[in-house]
Amino acid sequence: MKKFINRTESVLEESLKGFCSAHAGLVEYQSNPCFVYRNGGAVNGKVALVSGGGSGHEPLHAGLVGQGMLHAACPGEIFTSPTPDQMEAAASKVDGGEGVLFIVKNYSGDVMNFEMASEMIDIPNEIVLTNDDVAVEDSSFTTGRRGVAGTLVVEKIVGAASEEGRNLETCQKLGVEVNSRTRSMGVALTSCTVPAVGKPTFDIGDFEMEMGVGIHGEPGRKRIAIADANSIAEEMTNTVMEDLNSDPKDPVLLFINGFGATPIMELYLMYNCVHKLLTQKGYRVLRSLVGNYVTSLDMNGCSITVSSLNTEMIRLWDAPVNTAALRWKC
């Protein structure tokens, strides 16, 4: 294992301190229990969005804290759910008097702990569960579909709605709708390595790929021989679009997400492959995002996310955002 670390037990704390120092104008760090929150704390009169999950997926979620997106993020240890006391403390810190909306990826530990936090806090709150991964129904850490890169789309659109002053019920319903209109699927060329373990999470041959891999290195739907980018894109796009089953009249957002070790050049190459396929199917790609946003440490791979957009979603996606990972119109 070759990594830039001091001690495996302090990787998360040191990384969070570095992150918050580098983006001191946007976020602040609180330890014990640890969470990252918007500079200045609560925004009065706005629904507060709180998310989180195991670390190792950066910039999700801390990198999405800021104007137009999250108010706080609760990072667990690498690939380990945060605890209810983190969520309770974060929610109390950023509550602006209009309630708290928890955005939770569908992993058993995350769901259990956020539900506990929801019951613990004396603040009106709701939960949006993301489960956009079409690869498998049940996996190592889930019952049902996994929440993956589509979570970013939910956080961006609902975050913009919060900025506009929408109430808690409206924000929650919007999050559910965006999730229902979003599908994702990933592929891995290599495994990832958790620092505390010191070896790859799974073994994979030099000429193999894991189709449908999860963002923690969970098994996908099949292990197959590596193919050219067009063939990989075709299988993933067909699977995503068959499940999404959206009207081609509705424009789409195409999001190509890297898992941490995939060169940007290759992510744009994959974007080109998928864009051509969607165009051939009669879909109009109206909005795009390409980059490493929902990663899996040092995994070489990528995911495809497609969201079927309506007029409101387009407007909210385009709304100003100012976070460490996403920034436009600010």
Token pair listed for 121: 């806090």
188 within 8 A of 181, measured Cβ to Cβ: no
pLDDT, position 260: 98
Max CA pair span of the chain: 55
Give the Cα separation of 87 and 190 in Å (integer). Answer: 33
Give the Cα separation of 165 and 209 in Å (integer). Answer: 45
46-to-29, 86, 237 alpha-carbon distances in Å: 21, 21, 37
Q: What average pLDDT does the segment 67-87 reach?
A: 97
Q: What average pLDDT does the segment 211-223 reach?
A: 90
Q: Which of 328, 326, 309, 181 is nearest to 245 (CA)?
A: 181
Residue tagged active-site, from 23, 71, 216, 275:
216
CATH class of the domain comprising 11-181:
alpha beta
Q: What is the pTM of this model?
A: 0.97
Residue for token pair 């999405």: 64
Average pLDDT, the chain: 96
Residue for token pair 């999470």: 201
- DSSP element (H, E) containing 52: strand 48-55
Q: Where in the chain is the domain with CATH 3.40.50.10440?
A: 11-181
Tens of pLDDT, residue by residue over 159-183, are: 999 999 999 999 999 999 999 999 9
Q: Where in the chain is the domain with CATH 3.30.1180.20?
A: 182-321
Tens of pLDDT, residue by residue over 177-210, are: 999 999 999 999 999 999 999 999 999 999 999 9
- DSSP element (H, E) containing 126: strand 125-130
Instruction: Decide if 71 is catalytic.
Output: no
Give the Cα separation of 215 and 72 in Å (integer). Answer: 21
Q: Is the per-residue pLDDT at 114 higher than 80?
A: yes
Report the SS3 class of residue 103.
Answer: strand
Instruction: Decide if 216 is catalytic.
Output: yes
Q: Which CATH code fits 182-321?
A: 3.30.1180.20
Token pair listed for 294: 């929902």
Residue tagged active-site, from 23, 57, 61, 71:
57
